[in-house]
Chain A
């Protein structure tokens, strides 16, 4: 295994691992904020139980997110020192801003987790707001750095030297907005579906109580609001790619030859030897229409680029099909849910909602948002190859000169496996631990009364 390959594999593994926790770090605070707010308003203890349960999970997930993010901060240098030497002075600004977002997030998380008996219920609820905001902002900032890799801006190269650096223009490059939008919505969708699936499973297994129904409803609502919007934002992303990264577009669509009025291939396998995509369902002129909003637009194929500049369509095309497929499945599920909920409101029988088939579909969809996110990132990152900075620096030029990278790859892979297994065991255990008896609603306690509080350690 070459050092370059090992470094790429390590970077990809690390990011694929981190993104799961990062997504939950953005989505869970929103769920906590809503649910704790409902508790303050209604005094219904069911909401409090949900909040307490999610808080315990969040404590674990956040810490793993923080350590895996730290690995990434080091890896940018350990694996790609030449990239960072080049890029740090141009695109450092969003990273610096991200640092402050992390501070706010970690500080208020400390207050949120350990502050139950030191803050009034309202103040406690308020501490979730900065967590939610800074979680989302940290994603937007880091995405802006990634967008710059796709769409380098804010500097000029004269005789091989970087001049006229404009950090603001670099940060607000042409890709930052649609990538950020698409990612933030993706995080809310994935968190909502993931949490909803767990409660759907509980209900299917006969725990059809107020606790499970509330958990399901709040979570699925979050996902169902953003699912249709994701289609629009995905279309914006696709059109940006069409215009700015034609090789990535060709790879993700599996187009080898340049043609006018190009068809849209759904599914299929790009046969790189025969230079065509086989077994796909083709919609005539579909791609030209979607990507350029003109049925006769010319779409460049992979063969329009030198071999050395082509991303691998086998990975990129398949990943794109997975993301879009998951996207449509999620939208269908959201529609199903809203229609069922609406019917139920108009005189349905509460105990028959949600119907078992909807619940089963929700259970199956638990990981779907995460699958779409991983696949989408593969499209973005592998589709950018062979460039680390699009059109400017090749990944091979950026890699570290330190030999034996396979050792680090092996070591960190073991770390991720260990962390993932432990996390999974602890979360399953947490999910199985018995709930407190649902007592008569005590109402939100005043700061001085001690009802309904757990002792000190939220993670105890």
Chain B
């Protein structure tokens, strides 16, 4: 294979890897946060059982899923250093809050079981886990909304936008809630495969409910995109972008239908495809901007030497990573109780 030495190819390849990292963090790490959301919202006679299943499902995999975030961060500052610098300044506040959420989610998840031996230690950390899982995607979503909105301004490497107004605005806030419901929906769909019987029905209802909220929020976001994120709106209403919304709707309907008909494996596949497609659609709509409207692929990329070296490291890393990940999921997620004989289990 000839070396991809045209800078544009390199930028594009690394941009695609970055998108893949975000996508995997969303569908894997996002679902772990979603688990915490359902822990917070656990209700009814089986509330404790629901919490137990959630803990059981995320226990072995959340630390690996979390590394996708690190992967994304490292990739950004290696390949697009001005983006990392600009976002760290402009989004200092929401990113710090998301970071606190990540810290408390992780720590609480691991503390809460041994802390049950104490008077109230377990309950406190249970709550912390649930609340931290809920706020983290909210702030990440708001940060993403701010990036897309075009309100973050960088002039000559100096961030000139306001510390609050970029992300405390209607469009980013909607994006925050959209991220939150996405996590909840993914988690509920995955959990239908981890459970059987009544518990499975609990998560089925949760999937249907959060799916409906998701659809409402997405519909509400569109008019806001038009006024508050014009670049994205333009991307979605011209060229290839025109296909994004219809395909997204189709995938959303498919996964909702599959949940309804209790075809949970199909539902999971469609939900993943839907979230993946949303993110890809966002990337297409935003291309070639990394931070709308001042940082683009071409003015933010590092030197070709660095990009080439990074590609080699990613290639070598993938050789270790892919088999290891496959093994992890095979050991813990191959024989899920809810994945067998779907139709037959309808009550």
Residues on A close to B: CB < 8 A?
56, 59-60, 62-64, 66-71, 73-74, 76-78, 81-82, 84-90, 92-93, 95-100, 102-104, 106-111, 113-115, 118-119, 130, 165-168, 400-402, 408, 411, 415, 419, 422-423, 425-426, 429-430, 433, 456-457, 459-460
The smallest C-beta distance from A61 to any residue of chain B, in angstroms, reads 9
- Size of chain B's interface in residues, with CB distance under 8 A? 67
Most buried by A among B306, B325, B331: B306
Q: Which of B78, B88, B102 contacts A78 (CB 8 A)?
A: B88
Q: Is the CB of A99 within 8 A of B84?
A: no
Chain A residue numbers with a CB within 8 Å of B70 are 69-70, 73, 99, 102
Binding site for A on B (CB under 8 A): 56, 59-61, 63-64, 66-67, 69-71, 73-75, 77-79, 81-82, 84-89, 92, 95-96, 99-100, 102-104, 106-107, 109-111, 113-115, 117-118, 121, 125, 157-159, 163, 302-303, 305-306, 309-310, 313-314, 316-317, 320-321, 324-325, 327-328, 331-332
B82 near A85: Cβ-Cβ < 8 Å: yes
| Contacts across chains A and B counted by CB atoms under 8 Å | 216
Q: How far is the CA of A250 from the CA of B152 in the complex (A)?
A: 45
- Is the Cβ of B159 less than 8 Å from the Cβ of A166? no
Which of B59, B71, B96, B328 interacts with A408 by CB under 8 Å?
Answer: B96
Q: Is the CB of A76 within 8 A of B64?
A: no
> Which A residues lie within 8 Å of B158 (CB)?
401
Contact present for B107 and A77 (CB under 8 Å): no
Q: Does A459 contact B110, Cβ atoms closer than 8 Å? A: yes
Taking CB atoms, residues of chain B closer than 8 Å to A89 are 78-79, 81, 302-303, 306
24 residue pairs A–B, Cβ–Cβ below 8 Å: A60-B110, A63-B63, A64-B107, A70-B69, A77-B73, A77-B77, A78-B95, A84-B84, A85-B81, A92-B306, A97-B317, A104-B321, A107-B325, A109-B63, A110-B61, A110-B63, A130-B324, A400-B89, A400-B92, A422-B107, A422-B111, A426-B111, A429-B114, A430-B114
Q: Is the CB of B110 within 8 A of A59?
A: yes
A92 to B301, CA, bound (A): 13
The reply to whether B306 and A93 form a contact with Cβ atoms under 8 Å apart is yes
Given the complex, which residues of A lie within 8 Å of B92, measured CB to CB? 78, 400, 402
Q: How many Å lie between the Cα of A68 and that of B110 in the bound state? A: 14
Query: In the assembled complex, which residues on chain A have CB atoms less than 8 Å from the CB atom of B117?
Result: 429, 433
Q: Is the CB of B302 within 8 A of A93?
A: no
Which B residues are in CB contact (< 8 Å) with A459?
59, 110, 113-114
Which listed residue (A63, A69, A88, A100) contacts B110, Cβ 8 A?
A63
- Nearest 6 interchain pairs by C-beta: A92-B78, A77-B88, A89-B302, A88-B81, A100-B317, A85-B85
B107 touches A103 (CB 8 A): no
In the assembly, what is the distance between CA of A90 and CA of B325, in Å?
29
